[in-house]
Chains A and B, each alone.
Chain A
Amino acid sequence: MAGTGKAHLRNSPAPILRVEDLVIQYKTKGQLPVQAVSGVSLEVHSGETLAIIGESGCGKSTLGKGILQLIETQSGSVVFDGVDITKLSKEDLRQTRPNIQMIFQDSISALDPHMTVSSIVEQPLKVWNRGNAEERKTKVNDLLRSVGLDPEVVGDRKPSEFSGGQCQRISIARALTLTPKVLICDEPVSSLDVSIQAQILNILQEMKNRYGLSLVFISHDLAVVRAISTRIVVMYLGKICEIADPDTLCETPRHHYTHALVSSVPVPDPTIKNRRAILQGEPPSPTNPPSGCRFRTRCPAATDLCSTEEPQLRESSPGNFVACHHPRS
């Protein structure tokens, strides 16, 4: 499987965000740079929830930060609203910030511990000079209420007084202050309790509908992602394996990795005996990825072709793509 190939990119209707051949690498001490993301292309359409799923080391979080240019990208383009933001100057890039926002996994450390909740949510407005003090206060209170927090109660308190779920709500409120068009969520519910997860996911859904957001939802939890996304991108070791709508992906996965992933997710029902496709071996190190298809070392269907040629993304059914020489049928 390989992430190269842009068969899945469309031109109309124009996507709100398009990533092409993005390469992100980081330096390691004394060794060659490691590619966390190796030539990934994808697009986000207005109003959709695109999920990027994969296990640790697949590069999904790095991809999220790279799209926002919060970390350096080596090559490739990120086109937002017709402008390639990788080519912008620092100041011009800063100007695009209000349009794409991000919320992070560790909700508590994503908030400045010495600022009060109101000032955290207000900060984006102050940075961009939106409205006067009066208007800002009203907006902050509205936003806090819309995420289920009482501004009277929480406004003057510091983040350390709140739980993970509440901090995540504050982050969401802050992210929506500037009414962005795209919201990238990097594992927003992974460190939360199950019952709180559902609350936050519902809030995200509500905000999406209210503000007409497009969401990029990065996660490792396939069950969560199936419930809320419109399309799912599966990543492995820096490349894309498969792109499909949730029902198709989970019921008839075409890529062998996706199949293993789907069957590994524990189902809370003792009557369903999991026909688990247990993957052999360990994920290879990103410093030395296998040649050709990166998944071939653990794939039950690997052949010689898989080691010589990198598979491209091909359409397997309308709107669904898979990068595999021998996809499952």
Chain B
Amino acid sequence: MATVLRLLPLPAWDFNDSDALGVGMFSKGHILGTDYNGVDQLSAIIHGTRISMAVAIVSVLFAMLIGGALGILAAYARGFIDAVITMYFNVTLSIPTLILVLAMVAIFASPDPFNPGYTIPRILVLIIAITFVAIPILGRLVRATAMSWAGREFILVAESIGVKRRQILWQHILPNVLPAMLSISFLSAGVVIVVEGGLSILGAGATPGSSWGSLLARNRSDIALTPHTTFIPVVAISLTVMALNYFGDYTRTLIDSRESRI
């Protein structure tokens, strides 16, 4: 919990109400109802937002920074560097992602045998694992986009003027690839949220019980008694992913309209 607090500057909000157990939606004092243990669903959702968004934003951010940089470098440098980077991408991609993430969580989030009492916070491990898996995925997408830009004539023109290659990367390729990177990031964030949700159901999610997925996992078994507790997290996930997708598409159309005017 402390780690989560440190990650996001939002006030902790833990609202347990033992008076109202398993109350349905729109009940007095609990708009979204409570679950079997009295935990108010609305606060649970808000609480969970922090986790889900944190995982999504941080892992996509780092994956894009690293993967994007590698992708652009591979696209422009070609040759040996491209071969090495692509090989790294391909090798990482060939490992089944779910198993990789689960393995990392299992290894790193278990109590350290040499220092019992201290475990690396699950959420951190999760973020690192997802980032690691996402790097090649995003990297390949960025590489493809960057290659289409690197093949354009104005890059050749820049070389013919005598612009240094590093400058070409920064001044010409990066600014043009950036919109695509942004759009890919939005879409990826949506995917990560769903992935995190899935992992939570498997029990490998961030700090047990906090994220939307964990919520869903925990309330699954109570579906007969408090059905609303099951679909509330699902709705939350769906709406967020849809919003992110919409954003991603929107930025994509912005880019396309700019290019299609040519």
Contact = CB atoms under 8 A, between A and B. Distances in A.
Direct contact of A and B (CB under 8 A): yes
Interface stretch (B22-30, B56-64, B152-160, B219-227): B152-160
A183 B186 CA distance: 45
B162 A128 contact: yes
Contacts of B163: 123, 127
For chain A, give the interface size range.
20 to 34
Contacts of A101: 160-161
Contacts of A160: 258-259, 261-262
A159 B262 CA distance: 8
Contacts of B261: 160-161
B204 to A, nearest CB: 42
Contacts of A97: 160-162
B175 interface: yes
Contacts of A128: 162
Given A113-B154, A127-B162, A160-B259, 15 more contacts: A70-B156, A94-B164, A97-B160, A97-B162, A109-B152, A109-B153, A109-B154, A112-B172, A112-B176, A113-B258, A114-B176, A124-B161, A127-B167, A128-B162, A160-B262
Interface in A104-131: 104, 106, 108-114, 123-124, 127-128
Interface residues of B, number: 20
Interface of B: 152-154, 156-164, 167, 172, 175-176, 258-259, 261-262
Interface string A133-171: 000000000000000000000000001110000000001
A75 interface: no
Of A98, A101, A108, A110, chain B has the most CB atoms within 10 Å of the CB of A110
A44 interface: no
B157 A110 contact: yes
A68 interface: yes
Given A112-B176, A114-B175, A106 B162 contact: no
A209 interface: no
A94 B161 CA distance: 8
A94 B162 contact: yes
B246 to A, nearest CB: 25
A194 to B, nearest CB: 22
Interface in A176-224: 178
A94 B64 CA distance: 33
A293 interface: no
B176 A123 contact: no
15 contacts: A65-B156, A70-B159, A94-B164, A102-B160, A104-B156, A109-B152, A109-B154, A111-B154, A114-B176, A123-B163, A127-B167, A128-B162, A160-B262, A161-B261, A174-B161
Contacts of A178: 161
